[in-house]
Chains A and B, each alone.
Chain A
Amino acid sequence: MMDFLGAFHPLILHIPIGALLAAFLLELIHHFRKSHALDQAIKILLGFTAVTAIIAALFGYFLSQKGGYQGVTLQIHQWSGIGVALLSTLFFLLKSRLSIQGVWIAWGINLLVLTVAGHFGGSLTHGEDFLIRDAPGFIKTVFSSGDEVITNIDPDSAVVFTDIIQPIVKEKCLSCHNDSKKQGSLDLRNESTWRKGGKNGDLFDPENIEQSLLLHRIFLPLDHEEHMPPEGQQQLIPTEVAMIEWWLENGMPFDKKVGDLHSSGRIAQILQSKFQPFDPFEVITADPIDESVLDEFRSNGITALRISQKSPLLEVRLAGVETIGKDKIDLMKKAKEQIVRIDFHGSGITDAELREIASFPNLVQLSLHQTNITNEGIESLRGLKYLQHLNVHSTRVSDESLNDLIALDQLKSLYVWNTHFSSEAIEQLKSARPGLDLGEVN
């Protein structure tokens, strides 16, 4: 019932907005042409606003309980929404007692809170940048908080120049500083052209880093003729400037990794937020699973849990189950899209059964340790594009699987202790996939 009512929130909420704005319009007219009738109308509209705002807030609360929304945006929307309901009600009840000045202040507050609630509501449904998504470039620049987030790279092994600086340059400078359009005789495409500098020489001056040609141009005021990028172009944002400055302070090295350079305070913070690890759970979407399916799982001895109470995604545990069998596999297929983790450890799973499981497209974690699976089973995992954690310790998996494992793009951890892998194969794995967690300490 709550879900049903909640669904009406996006519909109902427009009523108090319209009513409040209409009342405000009448208030303006009333200001210039006093009339008792108008005053009455305003009162009625305000009362109407109050009632509908309360209903909208209540339905909104129901909707939020259904899940799918969270975070600060929801918090702000929720509280400002409740604020609208509360304030408009108070306004309606107390308006006759307010001075003229008081009335205008009350209007100001009401409209402000309404705007906040409306804006964050919009952000919830249409995304944070819904207002400026289709705006012309210059507006976007003003509003953009758009820090590029680098995923899938281990921060310590990322090369500062190629992984941090060059992407910024590519977006903000390369259009004017390339081989065909060398503004100021400066080409910023790669290391050697960087080293050449522009018509005024070297970009980097180790003696006086702050006054280096590059930083000097960046730090000039926006309206200065020589400011880079020129006025009207997409500007560097503060974190990008900080990254460039940090790189120059460290001697403008082209081959150094993030881990090689000292970083602390703000720089460390920026770096941390830049290297958000790829999170498959942010990407995988699946329909909510029917409760009856979960009941069926349960009565067939399959432990299936949601990864969090409001998520449609499931985690299955069949550890220690002697025979998995066709029935269980067929049942699990009903939640093929939703199942993201399966723990088969110590179970009787066979290669053939694993092949069927491998058709579940959203698997992120598979625990196959202490089972009888072999290289053949591993081969079938090749297509799993989200697979991040694979545990095959204490199995007969061996060197033959090497290429199949390397081919798993997203793999972050692979537990191969007590298997038939040779130490050469392990070394090969390490060099092919640096940063892969093999369960070794140090």
Chain B
Amino acid sequence: MSTDHSNWNRRDFLYGLGSSIGAVALSSLLACDTKTGQMVSRGPLSPASPMMRAKAKYCIFLTMEGGPSHIDTFDPKPALDKYHLTRFQRQGEKFSAMSSGDRYFVRSPFSSRKVGKSGVDMSAPFVHLADVADEICFYRGCQAESVNHPTAMYHINTGNQFGGEPALGSWISYGLGTMNENLPAFVVLPEVAYPQGGPGNWSNGFLPSHYQGTPLRPEGSPILNINPPPGVSRYHQEESLELLQKLNREHQQMHPNHDELSARIENYELAYRMQMEVPDVIDIEGEDEKTKELYGVGQAETDAFGRKCLLARKLVEQGVRFVQVYSGGWDSHDFLERAHGNLITSIDKPIAGLIKDLKRRGMLDETLIVWSGEFGRTADNGVRENGVAYGRDHNPDAMGMWFAGGGVKAGHIIGATDELGQEAIDVVHPLRDLHVTLLHLFGLDDNKLTYFHGGRHKQLSQFGGQVIKEVIA
């Protein structure tokens, strides 16, 4: 028992201080968690004001699944010519089984040149993209963590390698809602084969289900069962939906905190509204021939990706917040020239067309385009069964990507990799900083865009990160 007065005082003070600081922190967290400020009064997808003034309102995320090679696209390494086929050994914990052991360097099968007024690098197979080089901000400093496809995909898409967390598109829809309530806020245009990791790549994770990505199928009817079966009129449908909703609401009243239930009710309504809107939006046949030609629609090599890019523009034009477009098959462990060559050709004209089209329509300023894989590739390849294969392994230490529109520094190269492209050495940032930066471009603060789940306020970057200032105009 202490009778020392001042001692008691100090403890009391510290206790008081501690609890009051806690209260301050709590109130600011509460304020943050409302993410959407004053504007939200209706559904969870109602449009909301950004936290900070920002240029970007829409995102078209071009995902090159499999991990495109930065060395053979936008970050040429002429020094590799010197070492071509030179053998060496690499061991170490940091490297996966895949990239250790007997190895040899591989030079790029493509020549590279400087394009645009800004003189940025592009490999020879990029023919059309050179036209829009001055609109692009190339970033060479990013580093991923995982060397495996599914975990790396989850990481870039959701900020967490293990999956199960909300995708970037979900977070942005959570923060800003959608501009068109007749369409989903977050649309995914996958390949026929889903990417490694599957639909977890566009999951809403622990966020309310309204924010999950809606995939539109690349072949056949884009959304299964969107059209009523023959013999069911719009009127019939309306009647039965009304009844269904009534029953659902009654059920909901008994389970007021059932988030999935309210999402389900919402989804029925959205699906109904989509019946009106979707067929128009996804019908790219209505576009004039010149525009289709701009995207390479109708040409064998570019048709598939061109259609998706054109559709992405139409969706964004209608107010969809986030469109993710997949191109698959970039995992070139061998036949680099043929595999990467064909893939580059398949995306070159469509992406150039997309940028030109957005630009002339005055949409590029507010649409952020991101081009990225899940990691970069090594400058070397492993000896397998003693054969030499012209390909590259997975490389999380150097991961080239680029941005266009949406308030990024056009016509710049930011950051650098070492002489052989093995590792980022300038303006180096981990993936979480990329996520913080992307949110920032949308006027969202990663530290404030949080959701209480599993006992803590969770955020896209997991535990905070830095804005990559160099890429922002």
**Which residues in A have some Cβ–Cβ distance to B below 8 Å?**
61, 65, 86, 89, 93-94, 96-97, 281, 291, 294-295, 298, 303, 305-309, 311, 317, 319-320, 367, 369, 389, 391, 393, 413, 415, 417-418, 439-442
Q: For B276, what are the chain A residues with a Cβ–Cβ distance below 8 Å?
A: none
Instruction: Give the docked Cα–Cα distance between A89 and B17 (Å).
Output: 10
Judge whether B150 is part of the interface by a CB distance below 8 angstroms: no
Judge whether B239 is part of the interface by a CB distance below 8 angstroms: no
Instruction: Give the docked Cα–Cα distance between A308 and B52 (Å).
Output: 5
- 10 closest cross-chain pairs (CB), A and B: A415-B362, A417-B360, A306-B49, A391-B362, A309-B37, A439-B360, A308-B53, A305-B49, A441-B132, A309-B49
Q: For B355, what are the chain A residues with a Cβ–Cβ distance below 8 Å?
A: 441
- State whether A441 touches B359 (Cβ < 8 A): yes
Residue of A nearest to B39 (CB): A305
Instruction: Give the docked Cα–Cα distance between A393 and B50 (Å).
Output: 27
Residue with the highest number of chain A CB atoms closer than 10 Å, among B9, B49, B116 = B49
Q: Could you jot down 7 A-B contacts, CB within 8 Å? A: A94-B6, A306-B39, A309-B38, A389-B362, A391-B362, A415-B360, A439-B359
0/1 per residue, B29-48, Cβ < 8 Å to A? 00100000111011000011
Report which of B24, B48, B318, B365 forms a contact with A305, defined as CB distance below 8 A. B48
0/1 per residue, B346-362, Cβ < 8 Å to A? 00000000011001111
Instruction: Give the docked Cα–Cα distance between A311 and B51 (Å).
Output: 10
Q: For B47, what are the chain A residues with a Cβ–Cβ distance below 8 Å?
A: 303, 305, 317
Instruction: Give the docked Cα–Cα distance between A198 and B131 (Å).
Output: 51
Residue of B nearest to A277 (CB): B473
Known A306-B49, A308-B49, A308-B50; judge A441-B362 contact (CB<8 A). no
Judge whether B384 is part of the interface by a CB distance below 8 angstroms: no
- State whether B31 touches A65 (Cβ < 8 A): yes
Report which of A94, A295, A413 forms a contact with B362, defined as CB distance below 8 A. A413
Q: For B10, what are the chain A residues with a Cβ–Cβ distance below 8 Å?
A: 93-94
Report which of A61, A89, A93, A439 forms a contact with B361, defined as CB distance below 8 A. A439
- State whether A303 touches B362 (Cβ < 8 A): no
Expressed in whole angstroms, the minimum distance between the Cβ of A67 and any Cβ of chain B is 11
- State whether A294 touches B38 (Cβ < 8 A): yes
Instruction: Give the docked Cα–Cα distance between A309 and B34 (Å).
Output: 11
Expressed in whole angstroms, the minimum distance between the Cβ of B46 and any Cβ of chain A is 9
The A-contacting residues of B in range 325-366, CB under 8 angstroms, are 355-356, 359-362, 365
Q: For B164, what are the chain A residues with a Cβ–Cβ distance below 8 Å?
A: none
Instruction: Tell me how many residues of B have a C-beta within 8 Å of chain A.
Output: 38
Q: For B360, what are the chain A residues with a Cβ–Cβ distance below 8 Å?
A: 393, 415, 417-418, 439-440
- State whether A367 touches B24 (Cβ < 8 A): no
Instruction: Give the docked Cα–Cα distance between A65 and B24 (Å).
Output: 11
Expressed in whole angstroms, the minimum distance between the Cβ of A45 and any Cβ of chain B is 17
Q: For A417, what are the chain B residues with a Cβ–Cβ distance below 8 Å?
A: 360-361
- State whether B356 touches A309 (Cβ < 8 A): no
Known A294-B38, A295-B41, A308-B51; judge A441-B361 contact (CB<8 A). no
- State whether A309 touches B359 (Cβ < 8 A): no
Judge whether B135 is part of the interface by a CB distance below 8 angstroms: yes
Judge whether B315 is part of the interface by a CB distance below 8 angstroms: no
Instruction: Give the docked Cα–Cα distance between A291 and B38 (Å).
Output: 8
Known A294-B39, A306-B39, A317-B179; judge A369-B362 contact (CB<8 A). yes
- State whether B6 touches A93 (Cβ < 8 A): yes
Instruction: Give the docked Cα–Cα distance between A369 and B362 (Å).
Output: 9
Q: For B135, what are the chain A residues with a Cβ–Cβ distance below 8 Å?
A: 441
Instruction: Give the docked Cα–Cα distance between A65 and B42 (Å).
Output: 25
Instruction: Give the docked Cα–Cα distance between A311 and B49 (Å).
Output: 10
- State whether B359 touches A93 (Cβ < 8 A): no
Q: For A93, what are the chain B residues with a Cβ–Cβ distance below 8 Å?
A: 6, 9-10, 13
Instruction: Give the docked Cα–Cα distance between A291 and B131 (Å).
Output: 47
Known A303-B47, A303-B179; judge A61-B24 contact (CB<8 A). yes
Residue of A nearest to B358 (CB): A439
Expressed in whole angstroms, the minimum distance between the Cβ of B178 and any Cβ of chain A is 11
- State whether B362 touches A393 (Cβ < 8 A): yes
The A-contacting residues of B in range 48-93, CB under 8 angstroms, are 48-54
Judge whether B134 is part of the interface by a CB distance below 8 angstroms: yes
Q: For A319, what are the chain B residues with a Cβ–Cβ distance below 8 Å?
A: 179, 319
Q: For A305, what are the chain B residues with a Cβ–Cβ distance below 8 Å?
A: 39, 47-49
Judge whether B443 is part of the interface by a CB distance below 8 angstroms: yes
0/1 per residue, B1-16, Cβ < 8 Å to A? 0000010011001000
Q: For B17, what are the chain A residues with a Cβ–Cβ distance below 8 Å?
A: 86, 89
Residue of B nearest to A313 (CB): B53
Q: For A311, what are the chain B residues with a Cβ–Cβ distance below 8 Å?
A: 53
- State whether B319 touches A308 (Cβ < 8 A): no
- State whether A309 touches B362 (Cβ < 8 A): no
Q: For B31, what are the chain A residues with a Cβ–Cβ distance below 8 Å?
A: 65
Instruction: Give the docked Cα–Cα distance between A89 and B21 (Å).
Output: 15
- State whether B53 touches A369 (Cβ < 8 A): no
Expressed in whole angstroms, the minimum distance between the Cβ of B118 and any Cβ of chain A is 11
Expressed in whole angstroms, the minimum distance between the Cβ of A33 and any Cβ of chain B is 26
- State whether B361 touches A442 (Cβ < 8 A): no
- State whether B179 touches A307 (Cβ < 8 A): no
| Known interface pairs A295-B41, A305-B49; 10 further A-B residue pairs with C-beta atoms within 8 A, sorted by A's residue number | A65-B31, A93-B10, A291-B38, A308-B52, A309-B38, A320-B318, A413-B365, A439-B361, A440-B359, A442-B134
- State whether A89 touches B362 (Cβ < 8 A): no
Q: For A295, what are the chain B residues with a Cβ–Cβ distance below 8 Å?
A: 41
- State whether A367 touches B319 (Cβ < 8 A): no
Report which of A307, A393, A413, A442 forms a contact with B49, defined as CB distance below 8 A. A307
- State whether A309 touches B361 (Cβ < 8 A): no
Instruction: Give the docked Cα–Cα distance between A367 and B363 (Å).
Output: 10
Q: For B365, what are the chain A residues with a Cβ–Cβ distance below 8 Å?
A: 389, 413
Instruction: Give the docked Cα–Cα distance between A442 and B24 (Å).
Output: 52
Q: For B362, what are the chain A residues with a Cβ–Cβ distance below 8 Å?
A: 367, 369, 389, 391, 393, 413, 415, 439
Residue with the highest number of chain B CB atoms closer than 10 Å, among A291, A306, A439 = A439
- State whether B51 touches A89 (Cβ < 8 A): no
Residue with the highest number of chain B CB atoms closer than 10 Å, among A86, A303, A305, A442 = A305
Residue of B nearest to A418 (CB): B360
Q: For B42, what are the chain A residues with a Cβ–Cβ distance below 8 Å?
A: 298
The A-contacting residues of B in range 172-195, CB under 8 angstroms, are 179
Q: For B359, what are the chain A residues with a Cβ–Cβ distance below 8 Å?
A: 439-441
Instruction: Give the docked Cα–Cα distance between A319 and B135 (Å).
Output: 26
Expressed in whole angstroms, the minimum distance between the Cβ of B399 and any Cβ of chain A is 27
Known A295-B41, A417-B360, A441-B355; judge A309-B50 contact (CB<8 A). yes
